[in-house]
Amino acid sequence: MWNLSTPVVAHWSTGRLSTAGAEVGLARNGQLRRRVDGFLRHVALVHACALVVLPLLWILDVALSPGNALGGGYLDAVTGEHFQKMLTSESFWIWTRNSVIVSVGTTLLGLALAIPAGYAFSRFKFRGRDPAMFAFLLVQMFPGVIILVPYFLVMKALGLLNTSFGLILAYSVTALPLCVWMLKGFFDTVPRELEEAALMDGCSQTQVFWKIVLPLSLPAVAVTALFSFLAAWNEFLLALTFNTSESMYTLPVGLASLISSTGQAWGDFAAASLLVSLPVVVLFIVFQRFLIEGLSAGGVKG
């Protein structure tokens, strides 16, 4: 591909090409390289978009097609029976209520624990600070199935099986390490001079945190809240293990129950999947500005 420049280089090396001609040849080669690179980038982006969009289009086809067949042409027949069935199903709304309770509870409890912890790790020097941060990072490297049996035994001993609080407690603990890391990274970017000036003006350390540091850190708090909410909203394994009563199912477990050995309600499953995704899309749209600002600011530390 780059051999187009060979004659130009050969003429230049033998003295048969002027400086201006060599510059023109190099410019043409640069333009060709940029065009090829741009073409390859567009090809990669098209394939990436296809990997994301095609499964959504397939789910939409199954949700809008009559019956529960997975084959057939794309949108040969369109019906809203599956959406109507889910929206009028009492079980679906029970699952939704359970998911909302667990997700909101996980977010509130997670923030209540992660915000002071992240600030303490950012501002104070104490024995075991670095090993604790390393331990937070280390536990994120293990798959969730490792903690499944210990968590189950603890929840059983505490009598928290088939309860919303049991899931809230488990989700908050599992999400806490990453939340602390995210908030610490953002607190590190808040200038210490602001806190020192406030302390000199007579503010206490608590007032400095609530009136100066926390308002400046709202983008990071929003990102952490969004992460905690979505992690609890989409979690399946712990919810399936801890809740055996259908009245305590969350949405992921409830959707999985639509597909069983006795029958496969693929149309209902696809419709419910799209309905469950709507809150996630809305949250990303609402918190998009905070998401970009929080992630970029939290990752910049000299």
Query: Structural domains in the chain?
Result: 2-64 (no CATH), 81-298 (1.10.3720.10)
- The Cα–Cα gap between 265 and 253 comes to 15
Name which residue leads in pLDDT, 48 or 292: 48
Report the C-alpha gap between 292 and 175 in whole angstroms: 20
Q: In Å, what is the CA distance from 96 to each residue of 47, 170, 180? A: 34, 19, 28
- Give CA angle at 76 (72, 80), nearest 5°: 110
CB 31 within 8 A of CB 4: no
What single DSSP character describes residue 212?
A: I
Q: Is the model's pLDDT at 296 over the cut of 70?
A: no
DSSP, collapsed to helix, strand or coil, labels residue 127 as coil
Which distant-in-sequence residues (6+ apart) come within 8 Å of 80 by Cβ? 64
Contacts of 231 (CB under 8 A, 6+ apart): 106, 171, 174, 175
DSSP secondary structure letter of residue 247: G
Share of the chain above pLDDT 90, in %: 21
Predicted local confidence at residue 73, as pLDDT: 64
Model confidence over 201-258: pLDDT tens digits?
888 888 888 888 888 888 888 888 988 999 999 999 999 999 888 889 999 999 888 8
Q: Is the dihedral of CA 258, 260, 265, 266 positive or negative?
A: positive
% of the chain exceeding 70 in pLDDT: 83
Per-residue model confidence as pLDDT tens digits over 204-217: 888 888 888 888 88
Record the tokens describing residue 144, joined without a space: 């969730």
